[in-house]
Structure 1
Amino acid sequence: MNLFLLAGEPSGDRLGAALMDGLHTIAKPRIAGIGGPQMIARGLDSLFPMDRLSVMGLAEVLPRLPELFALRDQAVEAVLDGKPDALITIDSPDFGLRVAAKVRAADPSIRTIHYVAPSVWAWRPGRAAKMARSIDHILALLPFEPPYMEAAGMTCDFVGHPVVAAPRATLAQAEAFRSAHGERLALVLPGSRGGEIARLASIFGEALRQLPDGVRVVVPTLPHLKDRLSEATRNWPGKPLVVAEEDDRRAAFAAADAALAASGTVSLELAANGVPMVIAYDMAWLSRLLLARMLQVDTVTLVNLVSETRAVPEFLGAACKPGPVGEAFSRLLTVPSLRETQREALDLTMDRLGRGGEAPGLRAARSVLAHL
């Protein structure tokens, strides 16, 4: 079997590496493509460095459009020359789906598979029909996504979310973290992008004025954001501790009593560690207006959607104000029954995402083989 895998950013590289592990376990295919360090470590000879595709924001993309078009055409040529049994594009739809469309137009015999379904259940449902013009099969991370993809004309398998297989801190590591930093710990996560941090840090800081006595604030982040978060949280209550090393971050998640977090996939990382949470997010006024018109669901928190509950309090857009956010977070930290109710939804979420079953990468590999 001959496959071409294409990942364009770190999240796709992680998914691609797990898929490669699964494929090598059961099929021993020949794999070419584009990927990052994790896929390369598993034997991929990347056509070009993946980080050449890692561009975000209109202002950053526009000057690089000629280069990105050239990279797209180089990828298409490599796929057509190799004539694989399947092209598997992983996340990064802006690049991967354009490659798939050109491959489909030039050689319809090459099967096309995309790993990570678009969030058509949340907004822009027309994306699924557009995707179906060039994609045959979808590997979905969320259990409720296959019907949306199938309705658009593609086959789709739920293969599990990678969060269920992510490493977690041990009980001993969590206890050591509490001994070092405080018995009552509150995680606060104001996002991972510059714009998010700029908007949310002041709102979260004001919300923490209602923090119960004796609670220490811990801010897990990535190494390249540590200085920025340290400055942004300098005047917060709760003696904020910014942690960026991977082991410290995992231990903080395992040790926390509750969390205040920006909306995003971090809610699933919190759920995997059994950490009850309040979700809050704000955006520019125009984005608020557009999102309000396009949103198809009454909650964007994945825990609420997967568990089919509304257990996690959510404050979005105009509702993202320090007073209500702080009150909800304070209540979560001081009312044990609220935390227990949430933990039931967190457990249900993890079970529905595949906890206790086969690793998502292996399930994805089985889906690929079954489709082919």
Structure 2
Amino acid sequence: MGEARSVYIVAAERSGDLLGAGLIRELKAQTGDDITLAGVGGKAMAAEGVDSAVDITGLSILGFFDGLKSFGLLKERVAQTVADIIRTKPDMVVLIDSWGFMLRVAQGVREQDPDIRLVKYVGPQVFATRPGRARTLAGAVDHLMTILSFDAPYYEPHGLPVTFVGNPTLDRMPTGDGPGFRARHGLKPDRDVLLVLLGSRSSEVRRLWPSFEGAVKRLMEDRPDLQPVFLVAEPVEDILVPRLEAVGWFHVGEDEKADAFAAADTALACSGTVVTELATVGVPTVTGYRLGWLTWALIRALRVMKAPFISLVNIAAGRMLVPEFVQTRCTPSRLSGAVAEFLDDPQRRSALGDELMAATRELRGEGDASRRAAETVLTLLQAD
């Protein structure tokens, strides 16, 4: 590739940080470290040698009114990110997920230095809501690397080139040791394990905790032998662990994720990437979600939701493989009832596990998504 090219990678929350880390690792491997990397991100990117130029704490924002409350912070971090990119003057900027933040960064960079190539990694889900974002993104960046095989027709009519690289998150799912996990933590091998995941955003934990706590209590009242295990994401340890310890519930960290997945008979999870991860390894899952009430009211009033489901697994399958309970339907009784149906029917669980794994194969693509993302970045750099 001649002289070393430079790439600036931006991630504003945990999921993007992990995608960024995978991309960094592959860029180094494919260039023999003959590439200059810088960026904004979290611990995962830092572990790959790219320390963040901007503090991303507090940028994991979801919902219109949550965004308004944090607008000052967001605006400040956008300005800092744009300033560092202009100072660094990379050949390319890769903007990962986080629609609102990345759009503002892209617009700021484009305004100050239009020669810097801008690549978006993970597009907004325009198939589900706000299709106008496809045109907006096409006017803000030069290329889209998508993790969804069905994204291209939404963007290409607006002149935005699209490359499907697959979903790196699903590549990261190693085979876990379920029996070892149970033995390590004193969980009985002949009793059901319910894995509970409340998301990686503090707002998700606060809104879902009453419903999830109530659901688990109901299930344990009817099934005293049930073994609930809470898998706690690193960004929400401070807010979630004290709640779990207050009621005496067992929890583990993300370092035991693969083994916990392998040990689970079923799961109760916050809607998001983790639902797709669970489906990839065949864990029957019930999912719930709550937005802020003002945001929810706005979504309902404007009828911006287009997709029939909120889970990618259900969208890919075209039917409800993962029971979904959103907003007013996300209640302890409904969640516990749906989980109980899985617990009471081992044969259904087994059959559903196979269906879930089949539904995620297309989402996963050909595998090695981070490698293909890096190949795309390097190809685009060579084309300059």
Distance in 2 (CA, whole Å) between partners of 1:359 and 1:99 is: 28
Deviation, structure 1 residue 301: 1.2
1:364 partnered with 2:379: no
Is residue 232–residue 241 contact of structure 2 (8 Å, CA) maintained in 1?
Answer: no
Q: Is residue 99 of structure 2 the alignment partner of residue 93 of structure 1?
A: yes
What is the match of residue 225 of structure 2?
214
Give the letter aligned to residue 56 of structure 2: D
Stretches of structure 1 that go unaligned for 5 or more consecutive residues are 235-239
- 1:323-368 per-position Cα deviation (integer Å, ceiling 9, x unaligned): 333222111111123313321232123322337x442210101122
Cα distance change, pair 58–247 in 1 and its aligned pair in 2 (3 A): closer
Q: For 1:69 and 1:350, locate their aligned partners in 2 and report how far apart those are by CA, in whole Å.
A: 34
Gap change, CA 1:219 and 1:159, over 3 Å in 2: same
The 1-side partners of 2:263 and 2:298 are apart by: 38
Moved more, 159-168 or 117-126: 159-168
Shift of 1:66: 6.6
* 1:270 has 2:278 as partner: yes
Q: Does 1:29 align with 2:35?
A: yes
Question: Is 1:154 matched with 2:160?
Answer: yes
CA–CA separation in structure 2 for the residues paired with 1:172 and 1:231: 25
| Match of residue 38, structure 1, among 44, 58, 73 | 44
Q: Give the conservation status (yes or no) of the 8 Å contact 2:78–2:104.
A: no
Match of 2:129 in 1: 123
State the shift of 1:69 in Å.
5.3
Contact 2:14–2:200 (Cα < 8 Å) also in 1: no
CA distance in structure 2 between the aligned counterparts of 1:112 and 1:203, rounded to whole angstroms: 41
Task: Say whether residues 1:317 and 2:327 are aligned partners.
Answer: yes
Matched, 1:327 2:331: no
Q: Return 241-250 or 133-142, whichever deviates more.
A: 241-250
Could you tell me whether the CA contact under 8 Å between 2:148 and 2:167 is conserved in 1?
yes
**By how many angstroms is 1:226 displaced?**
4.2
Structure 1 position 142, deviation (Å) = 2.0
Q: Deviations over 1:164-223 (max 9, x none)?
A: 222542345245257535531112234444443343333234434255452222221133
Percent identity of equivalent pairs: 34
Distance 1:67 1:317, change over 3 A: closer
Runs of 4+ displaced beyond 6 Å: none
CA distance in 2, matches of 1:276, 1:74: 46
CA contact (8 A) 2:196 2:228 kept: yes
Other-structure match for 2:19: 15
Q: Cα distance, 1:249 vs. partner?
A: 4.1
Distance in 2 (CA, whole Å) between partners of 1:53 and 1:261 is 22
1:1-372 to 2 correspondences below 5 Å: 1-27=5-31, 28-44=34-50, 46=52, 48-51=53-56, 54=59, 56=61, 57-58=66-67, 61-64=70-73, 67-68=76-77, 70-79=79-88, 82=89, 84-168=90-174, 169-177=176-184, 179-181=186-188, 183-208=191-216, 209-210=218-219, 211-222=222-233, 223-230=237-244, 234=247, 241-292=249-300, 293-354=303-364, 357-371=366-380, 372=383
Give the secondary structure class of the aligned counterpart of 1:298. coil
- Between the aligned partners of 1:171 and 1:285, the Cα distance in structure 2 is 39
Structure 2 CA distance for partners of 1:346 and 1:112, relative to 1, 3 Å: same
Task: Please say if residues 312 and 342 of structure 1, whose CA atoms lie closer than 8 Å, have aligned partners that are also in contact.
Answer: no
Separation in structure 1 between the aligned mates of residue 87 and residue 115 of structure 2, nearest angstrom: 15
Instruction: Name the counterpart of 1:237.
Output: none
| Range 362-371 or range 210-219, more displaced | 210-219
Which region of structure 1 is more displaced relative to structure 2, 327-336 or 57-66? 57-66
1: CA distance, partners of 2:215 / 2:75: 45
How far does the alpha carbon of each residue in 1:274-301 deviate from its partner, in whole angstroms, 9 at most, with x for none?
Answer: 2101112234443333233210111101
Aligned residues of 2:56 and 2:77 also touching (Cα < 8 A): no
SS at match of 1:124: coil
Count of residue pairs brought into register by the alignment: 361
Cα 1:11–1:345 change in 2 (3 A) is: same
CA distance in 2, matches of 1:30, 1:351: 34
SS at 1:196's partner residue? helix
Residues 289 and 325, structure 2, Cα contact 8 Å, conserved in 1: yes
**Preserved CA contact (<8 Å) 1:226 1:243:** no
**Bigger mean CA offset, 309-318 vs 255-264:** 309-318
Contact 2:311 2:322 in 1 (8 A): yes
Structure-1 separation of matches of 2:59 and 2:207: 23
The letter for the 2-side match of 1:230 is: L
Name the SS for the 1:217 alignment partner.
Answer: strand
Q: Take 2:364 and 2:72, find their aligned partners in 1: how far apart are those partners?
A: 42
Whether the aligned pair in 2 keeps the contact of 1:142 and 1:160 (CA below 8 Å) is yes
TM-score (norm 2): 0.83
Amino acid at match of 2:379: A
